[in-house]
Copies of this chain bind each other. A is one copy, B any other.
C-alpha cells in the first residue's frame, strides 16, 4: 500500500538527513544511512537511485529549511528594528535546534557549488523581500543609513551563525563549558542586535 511505501521512503529520508548533517557527504556511507534507518542497504538505492541522488534531495530540503523562516520574517510589515531582532532570534533558535545545519550547508556548497544549485526559487524570494522596500524608503527619508539588502543581511546573520558554527573552537579558545557558552551566546545575541541596529538606524 502507498502508506507503507511512504513510511520506508521517509524513514530513509529522515535517517539520511541526520547522518548527512552530522558527517557530511564524504563522511557518510550508504551503510551508515541504512543502519540509522534500521533498514536493508539495498533499500536506499531502491527508493532513491544512488547516494548522490538521495543527497541532492536532502540538500534541497535543508537549504529551503534554512531560508524559509527568515523569509517569512523579512516579509513582515513591522518596524525594522523589530525585524532585525526577530531575524536574529530566529537564527539563534535554529542554531540551537539544528547545530549542524549551517556549517553543513556552507561546507558542502564550498566544496562543490556547481552541483548543489537547482532552480532555487527561494533565492529570488529572498532578493525580492519586503525588507528591500523598507531599506529603500528608510534611505530616502533619512531614517536609515543607505544600504543594500545584500550588505545588511549578512551583517545581521553572521554574528550568531559564526559563534555557533565555531562553538567548539570558541569553547576551547575561551575555556568555556557548555553552560558558559549558553550564557555567552545569549550575551552575544544582544550585542549583535544592538550593534546592527545602531549602525543601520540613524539617530
Copies, count: 2
Bound together, the chains give a CA A175 to CA B117 distance in angstroms of 12
User: A150 interface residue, CB < 8 Å from B?
Assistant: yes
Bound together, the chains give a CA A167 to CA B194 distance in angstroms of 26
A28 to chain B, nearest CB (A): 9
Q: Are B106 and A110 in contact (CB under 8 A)?
A: no
Q: Which of A168-182 contact B (CB under 8 A)?
A: 168-170, 172-176
- Contact A127-B173, Cβ < 8 Å, known A106-B165, A184-B150, A194-B199: yes
Q: Which residues of B contact A187 (CB under 8 A)?
A: 151
User: A78 interface residue, CB < 8 Å from B?
Assistant: no
Residue picked from A159, A176, A194, most chain B C-beta under 10 Å: A159
Q: Are A170 and B195 in contact (CB under 8 A)?
A: no
- Contact A111-B24, Cβ < 8 Å, known A106-B103, A127-B173, A191-B147: yes
Q: Are B106 and A166 in contact (CB under 8 A)?
A: yes
Bound together, the chains give a CA A31 to CA B184 distance in angstroms of 43
A194 to chain B, nearest CB (A): 7
User: A62 interface residue, CB < 8 Å from B?
Assistant: no
Interface string of A52-73 (1 = CB under 8 A from B): 0000000000000000000000
Interface string of A103-134 (1 = CB under 8 A from B): 10111011101000100100100110000000
Q: Which residues of B contact A167 (CB under 8 A)?
A: 110
User: A203 interface residue, CB < 8 Å from B?
Assistant: no
Top 8 closest pairs, chain A to chain B, by CB: A158-B162, A113-B168, A26-B26, A26-B27, A195-B199, A150-B174, A107-B107, A158-B158
Having A151-B184, A155-B192, A155-B195, one finds 19 other A-B pairs with CB under 8 Å, namely: A24-B111, A106-B107, A107-B107, A109-B166, A110-B168, A127-B173, A127-B175, A150-B170, A150-B174, A151-B187, A154-B162, A154-B163, A154-B170, A158-B158, A158-B161, A158-B163, A191-B199, A194-B199, A195-B198
